[in-house]
């Protein structure tokens, strides 16, 4: 019986460590976003660089399921590059970004569908050159 109890305690300890590690990794990413997003908003950092570095940090964080977040960041990298290259204007970029921000806490692929749709609409009505 003692071996069984020890195994249960060990299993629970390992689960606790994994949860702590995941929470800590997420917190580090959140802290990085809070300190670097103002740089992108002020123009001191390109939006595409911000989202690319954000993606690197999310990909390196020890989380269980990050695929919807990774996809969303990929959408934002694409939108940022289109914006920086003049393919979409600031209002259209802001439109895509606002959808991503609104649904950023949802771990739902449907939120990504909304963001992709906004990007497609933005590209369909490209500014005159």
SS3 assignment for 8-60: HHHHHHHHHHHHHHHHHHHHHHHHHHHHHHHHHHCCCCCHHHHHHHHHHHHHH
Does the pTM exceed 0.75? no
Per-residue pLDDT of the chain (129 residues; tens, 9 = 90+): 566 665 554 454 554 444 445 555 678 888 898 999 999 999 999 999 999 999 998 888 776 556 778 888 898 999 999 999 999 999 999 999 988 888 766 656 667 777 778 788 888 875 554
In angstroms, how far is the first alpha carbon of the chain from the final one? 77
- Only one residue has tokens 């019986």, namely 1
Nearest-angstrom CA–CA distance, 110 and 41: 27
Domain ranges for the chain: 2-124
* Both structure tokens of 8: 């249960």
Nearest-angstrom CA–CA distance, 125 and 54: 28
């Amino acid at each position: 019986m003692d071996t069984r109890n020890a195994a249960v305690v060990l299993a629970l300890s390992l689960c606790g460590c994994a949860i702590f590690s995941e929470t800590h990794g997420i917190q580090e990413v959140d802290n990085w976003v809070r300190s670097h997003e103002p740089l992108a908003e002020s123009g001191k950092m390109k939006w595409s660089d911000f989202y690319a570095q954000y993606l690197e940090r999310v990909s390196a964080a020890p989380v269980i399921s990050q695929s919807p977040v990774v996809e969303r960041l990929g959408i934002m990298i694409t939108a940022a590059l289109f914006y920086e290259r003049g393919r979409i204007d600031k209002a259209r970029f802001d439109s895509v970004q606002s959808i991503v921000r609104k649904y950023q806490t949802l771990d739902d692929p449907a939120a990504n569908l909304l963001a992709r749709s906004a990007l497609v609409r933005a590209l369909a009505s490209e500014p005159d050159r």
